[in-house]
Structure 1
């Protein structure tokens, strides 16, 4: 019978959470790339924007939680990035921007940081 320490279990849970976050970022980048080829008035753009808003709203809520173990400065920086992403996505939704490249780049950088 295997004995697992609490630290091992917590570490595994953190690694699994990061893996899920990286997969969510992968999906966001895929949606944004499809939207970029179809344009800001496409169904693909709407899907990408809605997904980004949900994803980053969840991440911001988690980052703002006092239970989040990341350093305060990193949490604040990620929250700022998330707010910028939501704002940019909203501008695409309102046909005021087509900054898919910026959103793709930032989400890809964050995804790489989770790996």
Structure 2
């Protein structure tokens, strides 16, 4: 199977939840690798930037009137997105560590994996 065929099959089979799970897993892995490499503050910028981008997208999507998620879940995601924005500034300026961002992302990953009683997908 060619790489292009595999990519097409993956896109067809992917659900929004599995895509979000994969994205959050990749980003969290990058943050863990950066932390474990001893990076801190501004050195974490690439991993923090990608995490911030993802949370901004989640936050914006949840703010759309046509979003089908329950209102309380949307509000929770928006609140987390705002917290990530503020906390990331503390991490990048060296006033806090990346650990809390990793913890939040892991909780989201677990939630995506367990949604509807099954794996993310």
TM-score bracket, shorter-length normalisation: 0.7 to 0.9
Question: TM-score, normalising length from structure 1?
Answer: 0.79
- Give the length in aligned residue pairs: 100
The answer on whether the counterparts of 2:27 and 2:51 sit within 8 Å (CA) in structure 1 is yes
Corresponding residue of 1:40: 40
Superposed counterparts of 1:4-23, under 5 Å: 16-23=15-22
- For residues 41 and 74 of structure 1, what CA distance do their matches in structure 2 show? 31
List runs of 5+ in structure 1 lacking aligned partners: 1-12
Write the deviation string for residues 48-98 of structure 1: whole angstroms up to 9, x where unpaired: 110111111111010111111111111101110111112111211122211
The answer on whether the counterparts of 1:49 and 1:90 sit within 8 Å (CA) in structure 2 is no
Corresponding residue of 2:75: 76
List runs of 5+ in structure 2 lacking aligned partners: 1-11, 114-121
RMSD, aligned CA? 1.6
For the structure 1 residues 42 and 35, does the alpha-carbon distance in structure 2 shift closer, same or farther, using more than 3 Å as the test?
Answer: farther
Question: TM-score, normalising length from structure 2?
Answer: 0.75
